[in-house]
Amino acid sequence: MHWDLFCRVVDNFGDIGVCWRLAADLAARGDRVRLWADDASALAWIAPAGAPGVEVIAWPDDDDAGSAPHEAVIEAFGCHLPAGFVQRMAACHPPPVWINLEYLSAEDYVERNHGLRSPQLTGPAQGLDKHFFYPGFTARTGGLLREPDLPARQQAFDAPAWRRAQGIDLSPGERSVSLFCYANPALPALLDALAGAPTLLLVTPGIAARQVQALLGPNARPGSLRAHYLPPLTQPDYDHLLWSCDLNLVRGEDSFVRAQWAGKPFLWQIYPQDDGAHAPKLAAFHDRWLAAAPPALAAAVRAASLAWNGLAPEVARPAGGAGLVLPPLADWQAQAKAWRKQLGSLPDLTTNLRAFVREGR
As a whole number of angstroms, the distance between CA 176 and CA 169 comes to: 10
State yes or no: is 111 an active-site residue: no
As a whole number of angstroms, the distance between CA 212 and CA 216 comes to: 6
Whole-Å CA distances, 289 to 126, 323, 340: 41, 22, 10
Q: Of 15, 25, 254, 348, which is the active-site residue?
A: 15
As a whole number of angstroms, the distance between CA 312 and CA 89 comes to: 48
CB 7 within 8 A of CB 19: yes
State yes or no: is 15 an active-site residue: yes
Q: Of 107, 239, 253, 254, which is the active-site residue?
A: 253
The 3-state secondary structure of the chain, one letter per residue: CEEEEEECCCCCCHHHHHHHHHHHHHHHCCCEEEEEECCCCCHHHHCCCCCCCEEEEECCCCCCCCCCCCCEEEEECCCCCCHHHHHHHHCCCCCCEEEEECCCCCCCHHHHHCCCEEECCCHHHCCCEEEEECCCCCCCCCCCCCCCCHHHHHHHCCHHHHHHHHCCCCCCCCEEEEECCCCCCCHHHHHHHHCCCCEEEEECCCHHHHHHHHHHCCCCCCCCEEEEECCCCCHHHHHHHHHHCCEEEEECCHHHHHHHHHCCCEEEECCCCCCCCHHHHHHHHHHHHCCCCCHHHHHHHHHHHHHHCCCCCHHHCCCCCCCCCCCCHHHHHHHHHHHHHHHHCCCCHHHHHHHHHHHHC
Cα–Cα–Cα angle for 287, 151, 29, nearest 5°? Answer: 105
What residues are labeled active site?
15, 253
